[in-house]
């Protein structure tokens, strides 16, 4: 192992490189979202931004699978619920047809997650594509603890 002088460390810093090795903690829950009313409504869909998908899913998903997401049919996916240790198998993931900036989970989102997990507007969820199992992993990070004010009594 080489010990660097302060001058050598400064030179690397100025060049924007580093030859030092270090360990970073692995935190896979990189696609985070605060749920909105539209994510919870009767249309049974969860919208995710294109930026999240381009950064965290596209680089680790197979080209064939990503091509299916771009199609009208989408890709049938399983979603593992980390909190309940259960797998939901009927969701479809695809590019949202009316928007070039969104992707969507459809079909059983409302029943398998919103109702079953009692999700509310303001709850924060996280997901990631698990390439080893070819499925999304899901968890609830924070439940919205805001209680609406009681109606005034007259």
* Domains of the chain with CATH codes: 25-141 (2.40.330.10)
* Closest CA relative to residue 144, chosen from 48, 34, 21: 34
Q: pLDDT by residue (tens digit) across 124-135?
A: 999 999 988 999
d(CA 5, CA 3): 7
Question: Cα(46)–Cα(40) distance, rounded to whole angstroms?
Answer: 8
In the numeric block, which tokens belong to residue 87?
A: 């797998």
pLDDT at 23: 66
pLDDT, the chain, mean:
86
Q: What is the pTM of this model?
A: 0.74
- The per-residue pLDDT for range 40-75, each reduced to its tens digit, is 988 889 999 999 999 999 989 999 999 999 999 999
**How many whole angstroms separate alpha carbon 50 and alpha carbon 76?**
18
How many residues belong to the chain?
154
Query: What percent of the chain has a predicted confidence (pLDDT) above 90?
Result: 56
Element (H, E) at 88: strand 86-95
């Amino acid at each position: 192992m080489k010990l660097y002088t302060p001058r050598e460390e400064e030179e690397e810093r100025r060049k924007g490189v580093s030859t030092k090795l270090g360990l970073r903690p692995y935190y896979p829950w990189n696609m985070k979202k605060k749920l909105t009313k539209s994510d919870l409504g009767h249309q049974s869909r969860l919208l995710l931004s294109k930026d999240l998908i381009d950064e965290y899913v596209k680089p680790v998903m197979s080209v064939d699978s990503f091509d299916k997401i771009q199609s009208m049919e989408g890709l049938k996916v399983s979603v593992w619920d980390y909190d309940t240790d259960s797998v939901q198998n009927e969701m479809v993931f695809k590019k949202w047809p009316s928007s070039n900036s969104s992707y969507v989970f459809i079909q059983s989102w409302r029943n398998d997650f919103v109702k079953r997990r009692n999700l509310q507007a303001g709850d924060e969820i996280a997901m990631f594509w698990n390439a080893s199992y070819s499925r999304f992993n899901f968890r609830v990070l924070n439940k919205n603890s805001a209680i609406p004010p009681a109606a005034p009594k007259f």
